[in-house]
Structure 1
Amino acid sequence: MGIFNFLVSKTIMHIPAPIVSIFAKSYIAGPTLYDAVKVTHDLNKKGMMATIDVLGEFISTKEEAIFYKNECIKILDVIAKEGLDANLSLKPTQMGLNLDKEFAFENIKEIVAHAKELNNFVRIDMEDTPCTDDTLEFFRRLREEFPGHVGTVLQAYLRRTPKDIENLSDGLLNFRLCKGIYNEPRKLAYKDPYIVNQNYIYSLEKLFQKKAYVGIATHDEKLVFEALRLIEKYGLKREEYEFQMLLGVDEELRNIIVSGGHRLRVYVPFGKDWLPYSRRRLKENPNIARHALKQFLGM
């Protein structure tokens, strides 16, 4: 890791919000849903899909959870009204997981049921490890009632991921596979980037073997190469997988993937509570800060 990346990763959680915003604005569609709609329209014109997410973390009341539930339902309605090629992502803690597990489940179930009515899809995002078991349980319960309308996320840095794939293989599999960004203890997560990549490839192949639909979520071209190799190996059709990338990250690679004839979905977050999300993303990928600084200085 270069000195710039090291400094960003070590200090980003303490940098004042106005400075973080300089680096983070390319990650966020804007403060409102209609900012996300505009970005999604632009992506669709370029042959790319989107998943829209309203930002907001660390809720402390059920009233806040209900607010975010209603926001998610509104997002699905607007996607339908605007004719967007997009779906919805949500976080279980935003729905109240840390307050009341069954309350959170019922909130998510209501959203997924609405997605089914609109012939759309909900991705239940994965958060830190205290949420992993509950998130996978929610997916297991909902996929039985709403097959094809709900999926969740697996993280390649977690040691448990291959076993989770096996444990969930008794039903329909739909996952976003990513590396993972939370700071987890070594007993739970691999720390060596090489091993994380190897576990990503191993998990992806296991998912393909089990006929899972996978959102291949990575900006690492080494993993894109390995994914393309496996897609060819298993003879997958275009509609049997997709690539996924974050808004504002490596647009050149994004365009290369799409021009190669593959489907690609861009994560489009919006909202006023952008700071925690932006700090995590910049900590994960300090090169974004480098790129933004060059643009800011006109270099």
Structure 2
Amino acid sequence: MSLLNFLISKSIMHIPGPLVGIFAKSYIAGPELNDAVRVTKELNSQGIMTTIDILGEFIKNLDEAEYYRERCIEILDTIKKEGLDANLSLKPTQMGLNLNKEVAFNNILKIVDHAKQLGNFVRIDMEDVTCTNDTIDFYRSLRGKYQGHVGVVLQAYLRRTPKDVENLSDGPMNFRLCKGIYNEKRVHAYKDPYIINQSFIYILEKMFQKGAYVGIATHDEKLVFEATRLIEKYGLTRDKYEFQMLLGVDEELRRIIVNSGHRLRVYVPFGKDWLPYSRRRLKENPNIARHALRQLFGIHGSN
């Protein structure tokens, strides 16, 4: 890690919001749903799918959960109305998980049921380890009736994830596999980047062996290489998996993946509650700030 990246990762939680906004503006569609629609149309024209997410999590009251539930339904309706090649991502804490588990589940149930009626799909995001058991329980409860319309995220840096894959292999499986972004204790999560990468490859192969549909969520070209090797090894057709990337991150790799014949979905977040998301992303990937500084000051080159 360069000195600049180290300083960014250690100080990002203390950098004023407006400055974070300068760094993050390329990675968020904008404050409104129509911004996400505009970005999705641009990506669809390039043969790229999206998943749309309204930012906001760890809410303070159940009125907020109702608000986010209705906004998620609005997103699904808008996708249908606009004819977008897109689906929805949501966070359980956004639906009230930390306030009332039953209310949160019922909110997600209503959204997933609406998605099924529209022929669409909902990805239940994974948050920190305090949410993992409940999030997996939600998915297990929904996946039978709503097969093909709901999936969940699993994180490669968590030590428990291989067992979670095994436990979920008794039914339909639709996963997004990512490295993981929350700052977890060592007892829960691997800290070494090499081990996290090895865990990602190991878990991805286990998912393929179990017949899961996998959204392979990574910007690490080493992992893209390993994933394509496994896709070839298991003879997977392009309807059995997809690659996934964040908006604004390594667009060249994005084009390489699409031009190689793979399907790709880009995560398109929008909303006014952008600061916590942006800080986590900058902490995870300080290169975002490096690229933003280059653009801001007109600096070119790779060093």
The TM-score range, normalised by the shorter chain, is over 0.9
- Residue number in structure 1 paired with 2:268: 268
Q: Secondary structure at the match of 1:185?
A: coil
Cα distance in 2 between the residues matched to 1:31 and 1:41: 17
User: What amino acid is the match of 1:190?
Assistant: Y
- Residue number in structure 1 paired with 2:45: 45
Q: Could you report, residue by residue, the CA deviation over 1:94-138 in whole angstroms, capped at 9, with x for unpaired residues?
A: 000000001000000000000000000000000000000000000
Are the counterparts in 1 of residues 58 and 96 from structure 2 also a CA contact under 8 Å? Answer: no
Alignment of 1:103 with 2:103, yes or no, is yes
Alignment of 1:129 with 2:129, yes or no, is yes
Cα distance in 1 between the residues matched to 2:57 and 2:232: 39
CA RMSD of aligned residues (A): 0.4
- Residue number in structure 1 paired with 2:199: 199
Q: Secondary structure at the match of 2:144?
A: helix
User: What amino acid is the match of 2:111?
Assistant: I
Q: Secondary structure at the match of 1:177?
A: strand
- % identical aligned pairs: 76
TM-score using structure 1 length = 1.00
- Residue number in structure 1 paired with 2:27: 27
- Residue number in structure 1 paired with 2:218: 218
- Residue number in structure 2 paired with 1:184: 184
Alignment of 1:257 with 2:272, yes or no, is no
How far has the Cα of 1:145 moved from its partner?
Answer: 1.5
How far has the Cα of 1:228 moved from its partner?
Answer: 0.2
Cα distance in 1 between the residues matched to 2:172 and 2:59: 31
How far has the Cα of 1:144 moved from its partner?
Answer: 1.4
| Alignment: residue pair count | 299
Are the counterparts in 1 of residues 50 and 267 from structure 2 also a CA contact under 8 Å? Answer: yes
User: What amino acid is the match of 2:250?
Assistant: D
How far has the Cα of 1:58 moved from its partner?
Answer: 2.4
- Residue number in structure 2 paired with 1:17: 17
Q: Could you report, residue by residue, the CA deviation over 1:204-249 in whole angstroms, capped at 9, with x for unpaired residues?
A: 0000001100000000000000000000000000111000000000
- Residue number in structure 2 paired with 1:144: 144
- Residue number in structure 1 paired with 2:296: 296
Cα distance in 2 between the residues matched to 1:58 and 1:165: 26
Written as runs of structure 1 = structure 2, the 5 A alignment for 1:221-232 is 221-232=221-232
Q: Secondary structure at the match of 1:147?
A: coil
How far has the Cα of 1:32 moved from its partner?
Answer: 0.2
- Residue number in structure 1 paired with 2:237: 237
- Residue number in structure 1 paired with 2:69: 69
Segments of structure 1 that go 5 or more residues without pairing to the other structure are none
Cα distance in 2 between the residues matched to 1:146 and 1:209: 22
- Residue number in structure 1 paired with 2:86: 86
Q: Secondary structure at the match of 1:273?
A: coil
TM-score using structure 2 length = 0.98
- Residue number in structure 1 paired with 2:155: 155
Cα distance in 1 between the residues matched to 2:58 and 2:186: 24
Are the counterparts in 1 of residues 155 and 179 from structure 2 also a CA contact under 8 Å? Answer: yes
